[in-house]
Structure 1
Amino acid sequence: MNTEETNSKLLALDSLLDAERSALLSGKLEDLAGMLEDKEALIAALNAAEHSDLDALQRLDAKVKRNQLLLDGALEGIRSVARRMAALRRIRGSLETYDSHGKKRNIELDAARAVEKRA
């Protein structure tokens, strides 16, 4: 790959990393899947090329690390929501109380029963 092609790939990856950051910050996580293949292809091409512009590579490296931190935060947020939703489902299906001796009791609720509303 010649220098012009390498510079073109560097610019394309730089632009893609900025778009990835924008998607992460705006919560458009579905956009990330479409960017992954392009990002992998650009990184593979740049890994195979000779580089003379180390400053550009260091800037790209900083952007990749920045985006990885954002992605880690987004994943942790998703995990937190999943844990909370699981806890809510668990709470909805049972009731924890204490008996007269201070022992915890778990009362399973029948989901089939519903409260009947009358006028």
Structure 2
Amino acid sequence: MTMLTNQTPQALIDGLDSLLEEERAALTHGELRKLEGILARKEELFDKINALTDLETEALDTIHGKVTRNQALLGSAMQGIKAVAHRMSELRKVRKGLDVYDRSGRRASYTTTGSLKLEKRA
């Protein structure tokens, strides 16, 4: 992002605004691989904006709202990823076998025999 080296404060804010929109699009479209590159560019812009001494706080109000929105989207994406990981873990356990309890509370394990392929039906 060397093109932002000597830009005005408003140009830096506009660049960050645009980048936050790009981040939002990546999050809402599930393009999580793009986030790493966006994060690096965003950190660079934050550093440049934080170094400014003559910046009006009102100029950052819109940016603050977008940062908050994107943080919520990122949190939701993380919850989704954790849910998928948990579900995959449960499916692996079921493929290995099944643990059940009888009326007296004793555990019995049944191992799976046969194919471990998952059948998909329409």
Q: TM-score range by the shorter chain?
A: 0.7 to 0.9
1:94 aligns with 2:87: no
Among 22, 26, 35, the alignment partner of 1:23 is 26
CA distance change for structure 1 residues 58 and 114 in 2, over 3 Å: closer, same or farther?
A: closer
Aligned twin of 1:81: 84
Could you tell me which runs of 5 or more consecutive residues in structure 1 were left unpaired when the two chains were aligned: none
**Secondary structure at the counterpart of residue 8 of structure 2:** helix
Equivalence map 1:1-119=2 (5 Å)? 5-99=8-102, 101=104, 103-109=106-112, 113-114=114-115
Decide which structure has the larger Cα Rg and report it. Answer: 1
Residues 9, 55 of structure 2: 8 Å contact kept = no
Structure 1: distance between partners of 2:103 and 2:45: 67
- How many positions carry a matched residue from both structures? 111
**Secondary structure at the counterpart of residue 80 of structure 1:** helix
Normalised by the length of structure 2, the TM-score is 0.80
Give % identity. 38
Q: Post-superposition shift, 1:5? A: 1.8
1:63-118 superposed Cα distances (whole Å, 9 cap, x missing partner): 111100000000010000000000110111012234475633122336xx559xxx
